[in-house]
Amino acid sequence: MGLSWNKMQSNYNSRYYNHRDYVRGLNNYGVTCCINALLQSFSATPELLELLDKYNPAQTEPNDVPMELKNTLCAMRKEQKHHSPHRNFLDCLHRHSIHRYIQHDADEIFHSILNLTQKQMTDKDLAEEIRKLYEIKVETQVMCKECGHIQKTPNSLYSLPLAIREGDNTLESCVQSYIQQQPLRSGNECYCDWCMKKQPTTHQLKLVSLPSVLCIHLKRFRNYGTTRKLHNRVTFPETLHMNTFNGQSENAKEYYSLYAVIVHIGSAFSGHYTAYIRHSLDQKWFYADDSNVQQATWEHVQETYKGGKTAYLLLYRKMSENASG
Ligand SMILES: [Zn+2]
């Protein structure tokens, strides 16, 4: 029994990585650690590299985010060692109001980069493929407790925003809470189209479909008047089974494999971003702290479960077992 990914992987690798030193450090140009960490995760996503490589418009507008992203990710794979392949990309984002010398939120910047790519890409089919690569489809279901009528509202997301409870959490328990049925508070009733009046309702989120690249956002920043960071323990596995959450059979031979972790170090007011990246070539973990890159282990990654240095975004890749091997 083998993984269908293996064949794809060797194709990607021969095309995109031709030397061992494949995780490139990135200089910090004024609180750009957040963007640097995200670039490391994009660079470890050959599915995205392959799509961006097809982006060759006759002409682009100035400050074209997808073109600068493509050029940066391409330069990060080149042999020559320089730590500033992302200068133009940073300048480009700066002109789109993602400024340097400002603390950014990695989830917001992740969304901004993908949204700007969608908006600016002239090749709309390609933009659609990039959207699909990350798109999580969810449905809000509001059920009337009187008549049982369910009102469904579809929505799509680039990252799954998971709340963290006080105490210890597992990633699976956070997903479970996210989709759990919630009664709306009394006095907060919803209009039922069937009963034609306001009725008590329950509220539930349903995962309709999950993408090839699943980004999970651990909501560690909470606003209590002032923003506070939750340092609570959240364990997450290297191999994640999502079948039970989206109503698929438990026997479905699909699972997710962790390949990047965006880490936030510090507090809500003063922080730094780094990234753990697992390279598809030999499955080894690397730790990228701006220009400093070192090899790491799964045990190092697990140290980001709690405390001051915590996992903030998790990137999982869908894998499927191939029965024919
Ligand atoms: Zn009703």
Q: How far is the CA of 190 from the centre of ligand 1 (A)?
A: 9
Strands 201-209 and 182-183: antiparallel
Please give the single-letter amino acid code of residue 301: V
Average confidence (pLDDT) over 98-123: 93
Q: Using CA atoms, how far apart are residues 188 and 229, in angstroms rounded to an integer?
A: 29
Instruction: Check residue 21 and give its pLDDT.
Output: 55
Q: Tell me the CA–centroid distance for residue 207 and ligand 1, in Å.
A: 24
The pocket of ion ligand 1, defined by CB under 5 A, consists of 144, 146-147, 149, 192, 194-195, 199
Tell me the per-residue pLDDT of 20-69, one tens digit each, with 9 for 90 and over: 457 888 999 888 999 999 999 999 999 999 999 999 998 877 899 999 99
Cα 144 to ligand 1 centre (Å): 5
Q: Which residues form the domain of 24?
A: 2-322
**Predicted local distance difference test score (pLDDT) of residue 5:** 43
As a whole number, mean pLDDT of residues 160-177 equals 94
pLDDT over 90, % of the chain? 63
- Distance in angstroms (rounded) separating the CA atoms of residues 311 and 154: 29
Which of the four pLDDT bands, split at 50, 70 and 90, describes residue 320?
confident
At 103 the pLDDT is 85
Q: How far is the CA of 53 from the centre of ligand 1 (A)?
A: 51
pLDDT recorded at residue 269? 82
How many whole angstroms from 155 Cα to the centroid of ligand 1?
23
Query: What spacing in Å lies between the alpha carbon of 52 and ligand 1's midpoint?
Result: 48
Give the model's pLDDT for residue 15: 46
Number of domains within the chain: 1
The residue among 18 and 28 whose pLDDT is bigger is: 28
The CATH number of the domain holding residue 98 is 3.90.70.10
For every residue of 222-257, DSSP letters joined together read EEESEEEE----EE--SEE--TTTTT--TT--EEEE
Q: How does pLDDT run across 258-315, given as a tens digit for each residue?
A: 999 999 999 888 899 999 999 877 889 999 999 999 999 999 999 999 988 999 999 9
Ligand 1: centre distance to CA 145 (Å):
7
User: What's the 195 CA to ligand 1 centre distance in angstroms?
Assistant: 4
Question: How remote is the CA of residue 193 from the centroid of ligand 1, in Å?
Answer: 7
Centre of ligand 1 to C-alpha 246, Å, is 26
137 Cα to the center of ligand 1, angstroms: 26
Q: Of the candidates 301, 297, 171, 315, which has an alpha carbon nearest to the alpha carbon of residue 236?
A: 171
